[in-house]
Structure 1
Amino acid sequence: MKRVLVVLFFLGSIAHGYSQSFGEIIDVEPIGDNIFPIGAIPLIKTSLDLVDKYEFTYNELVPRTGRSSFWESVNKFTLDVSEVAFVNWNAGGANSVSGLYGMNLVRTYRNDGFRWDNQFRFRYGINQQESQELRKTDDDLEFSSSFGYEVSKNSKWFYTGKFRFKTQVARGYDYPDTEVSISEFMAPGYIFLGAGAKYVESTGKFELYLSPVTQKSTFVLNQRLANQGAFGVREAVRDNQGEIIKEGETSRNELGILVTNEFEQKIFDSTILTSRLSLYTDYLNNFGNIDIDWELVFDFKINSFMRASLGAHIRYDDDIKVKNELEDGTLSRGSPKIQLKQQLGIGIVIDL
């Protein structure tokens, strides 16, 4: 529509006089060799070409100073590799190689008070040790999307609705047992859907999301695991002989409060601290028991492509019971415990 208005404006100015140039008619500076005298076909072509650099505002053309697109993007790919080999090493040891691949894709749309944030994160790690099968060391698949509208003009607070999906892609085992899996795709899988308010710094390095109403859905789409009551779903009902009378439920729904926080802080010229925290408590089931998911990572920049990282990941979910092994080798139903994962790696990073 703007392109049409610009063309009509220039064509209408023909009646004002063929002897004037664009700059004289619209009171702007001439635009180099692209300016033609008003009056013929070149006028139309040039007018269309100028739209990309100028906009029509209050009877004059002004240079476009804003973003060429309302979208902002981040594409980050990482690969950490470590290897240990021994030859006649009298202290002993086993040859091993491990790798960890990471992907972080971010797309943000901002325009007229609207803000739409999308993020896709994926991590997958493996380890191969001599005389052992290939083992999974990390597996995380997550997608989140939030859409908001600013509370007031140029405010950092936004009324926001948020969706988050989280699972893993491959089967997990309680090594060395590789016969029976303890997790797989959508076992468990988590979906958060709610509404609230989000505070975002203009730099995008700090975000705080507060939601008084968020539904948390837990999925265990493996009937064997669902029958065991894994990850908080209702387990199967059995008779005195242990036979299943009623299959376990494959999903569980909760309604509660969700608070998330993400920030990135530059500590030194070559060191960046990143924190991602999620807190959730259910209104109806043990209100006050907080599910915690906190990831803390230090990134040490070596050069444009090389980096080292040190990270820790803490999880606590009151609905996940860690089973205890008895003396006879059987497992008993345990209690919730803090889950901790620590990683140290060196590798390459690519930002696009």
Structure 2
Amino acid sequence: MVIRVFIFFITVFSCHFAYLQDSIPQVDSIPQTVIIDSTIVDTIVIRRTQYRIDVVPRGVNLTNPVISFNQTKVLNEPPKRFKVPSFWTKINRLGFNMSEVAFVNWNAGGDNAISAIGNMRFARNYKFRFINWDNDLSLKYGVNIQEGRKPRKTEDAIRLSSTFGYRNDTLSKWYYSVNLKFNTQFADGFKYPDRENPISTFMAPGYLFFGGGPSFIPEGKNFNLYLSPTTVKATFVLDESLANDGAFGVKKAVFDSNGNLIQKGENQFIEFGILVTNTWEKEIAKNIIMDHRISLFTDYIRRFGNIDIDWEMNFNFKVNNFFEANFGTQIIYDDDILFDTEIADDGTVLNTGVPKIQFRQVLSIGVVYTF
């Protein structure tokens, strides 16, 4: 029995070692062609049998969804139709600012006074790909009423600006631009307390700028730098009395020795030169918006290098959607506007006057409506 078991194990081990031998024949002297097994073995996927869930956990809903219109209500308003996106942006702004002081039995003295300023601004701006077109109209008028004297004007301006620009590609911030600007005022201006002889009126003066040049307009910055080496500046003085006096740079009238008018004064004065303008609107702090505008002009022919300046800086302090405070300053210098002119009774000019820096400052609080 032991011998039979021994023979069985010997036979098993012999077969096992024979199976583990290299199947490629090795011949020392004669090379043999090796045949490589090319049998392709595919992946066998064994799927587990899926059983129906007998115990459904609480909170699981296996029912089919049912669509019901029982809760549907009729719309109170008609549905809004799709609107094609517009590349126009608009600003409609109406403002009214007022300051007031009143005294009753005030030992230190003082006069009751009210100051009011109304302003309107309308803007229509278009921007799409290669084209940028900005249009802005600003109207302002203010008056001061003080106890014991007649009303006096404190603010008066009409300003219109339009700039059309074109660029070569959508990545460039520089535009080829054409600019038109117009400035004048509503009512007569006086050197108080003189109310008989106005020193300015509607279209006296009136300023018109027209020219072309490059503009730097970065995306989303509310910044515009305009450089025009070819700008025509036209000054209009349509009031005959002011034109005869040669106000605002126009050629004045010619009188004889007896004061009789020989030739009327001209109503317009044309200059050709360089114009640089910059507008910048930025929120410098929460609810504090800075509005900066400057215009620089010099004439090629008459006085090149002598620069006319119009610089305005405003700070708007927003309280809420309807109330805001405003602090603003403006500086103007124009060598065609002369001060301290002295004229004799017979019309002889004793002193032609000198140009001076004009400065204005406003602080007010009021209501504003934007739509």
Matching of residues 262-273 of structure 1 within 5 Å: 262-273=279-290
- Counterpart check, 1:337 vs 2:340: no
Q: Give the residue type in structure 2 aligned to 1:351.
A: T
- Cα distance between partner residues in 1 of 2:190 and 2:234: 24
Q: Say which of 247, 251, 256 aligns to 1:234.
A: 251
Aligned-pair CA distance for 1:327:
12
Alpha carbons of structure 1 residues 327 and 267: separation in structure 2 relative to 1, 3 Å: farther
Match of 1:210?
Answer: 227
Letter in 1 for 2:352: R
Q: In the alignment, which residue of structure 2 is the partner of 1:149?
A: 166
Larger gyration radius, structure 1 or structure 2: 2
Alignment of 1:187-266 (within 5 A): 187-266=204-283
- Larger fraction in helix: 1
Superposition misfits of 4+ residues, deviation over 6 angstroms: none
Structure 1 position 240, deviation (Å): 2.3
Tell me if the contact between 2:292 and 2:312 (Cα under 8 Å) persists in the aligned partners: yes
Measured in 2, the distance between the counterparts of 1:186 and 1:116 equals 26
User: CA 1:295/1:165 → structure 2, altered by over 3 Å: closer, same or farther?
Assistant: same
Letter paired with 2:217? V
CA drift of 1:324 comes to 4.4
- Is residue 2:177 matched to residue 1:160? yes
Q: Write out per-residue CA displacement over residues 158-184 of structure 1, whole angstroms, 9 at most, x where no aligned residue.
A: 111111111001111111111121111
CA offsets 1:22-52 (integer angstroms, 9 cap, x no match): xxxxxxxxxxxxxxxxxxxxxxxxxxx9x95
- Aligned partners of 1:132 and 1:279: how far apart in 2? 38
Shift of 1:331: 7.4
Give the C-alpha shift of residue 204 in structure 1: 4.5
What is the correspondence of 1:308-327 to structure 2 with a 5 Å cutoff? 308-324=325-341
Distance in 2, Cα, partners of 1:101 & 1:180: 26
Contact 2:344–2:350 (CA under 8 A) maintained in structure 1 = no
Deviations 1:319-352 (A, max 9, x none): 1111246999x97321111011111111112222
Instruction: Give the equivalent residue in structure 2 for 1:78.
Output: 95
Tell me the distance in 1 between the aligned counterparts of 2:111 and 2:148.
8
Q: Is the 8 A contact 2:129 2:170 kept in 1?
A: no
C-alpha distance in structure 1 between counterparts of 2:341 and 2:174, whole Å: 46
Map 1:62-141; keep pairs closer than 5 Å: 68-141=85-158
More deviation, 264-273/245-254: 264-273
Q: 1:294 aligns with which of 279, 288, 311?
A: 311
Q: How far has the Cα of 1:188 moved from its partner?
A: 0.4
- The match for 1:283 among 275, 289, 300 is 300
**In 1, Cα distance between equivalents of 2:220 and 2:157:** 27
Assess if the C-alpha contact under 8 Å between 1:207 and 1:263 holds in 2: yes
AA aligned to 1:120 is L
Which amino acid letter does the alignment assign opposite residue 291 of structure 1? Answer: D
RMSD value, Cα: 2.2
Question: TM-score, normalized by length of structure 2?
Answer: 0.74
* 1:31 aligned partner: none
How far is 1:111 from its partner? 2.6
Give yes or no for contact 1:198–1:209 (8 Å, CA) kept in 2: yes
Percent identity reads 49
Task: Give ranges in structure 2 of 5+ residues lacking alignment.
Answer: 1-78
Amino acid at match of 1:339: Q
Indicate how the Cα distance of structure 1 residues 100 and 331 shifts in structure 2: closer, same or farther if over 3 A, else same.
farther
Gapped runs of 5+ residues in structure 1?
1-48, 54-66
> How many equivalent residue pairs?
290
What is the CA–CA distance in structure 2 between the aligned matches of 1:293 and 1:124, rounded to whole Å? 18
- 8 Å CA contact 1:140–1:166 kept in 2: the answer is yes
CA displacement at 1:128 relative to structure 2: 0.8
- Alignment CA distance shift 1:164-1:322 (3 Å): same
The alpha-carbon distance between structure 1 residues 227 and 277, as it changes in their structure 2 partners (threshold 3 A), is same
Shift of 1:82: 1.0
1:307 is matched with which residue?
Answer: 324
Question: How many angstroms apart in 1 are the aligned matches of 2:292 and 2:104?
Answer: 41
8 A contact 1:113–1:154 mirrored in 2: no
TM-score (norm 1): 0.78
CA distance in structure 2 between the partners assigned to 1:248 and 1:323 by the alignment: 20
Distance 1:324 1:229, change over 3 A: closer
1:173 is paired with a residue whose SS is: coil
Alignment of 1:173 with 2:190, yes or no, is yes
Instruction: Report the CA distance between 1:203 and its aligned residue.
Output: 1.3
Higher strand share: 1
SS in 2 for 1:172: coil
Give 1:83 shift: 1.2
Describe the SS at the equivalent of 1:92. coil
Measure, in 2, the Cα distance between the counterparts of 1:267 and 1:278.
22
Deviation (angstroms), 1:280: 0.3
1:240-292: CA deviations, max 9, x gaps? 23322111101000000000000012221021211100000010010000000
* 1:350 and 2:354 correspond: no
Q: For the structure 1 residues 327 and 96, does the alpha-carbon distance in structure 2 shift closer, same or farther, using more than 3 Å as the test?
A: farther
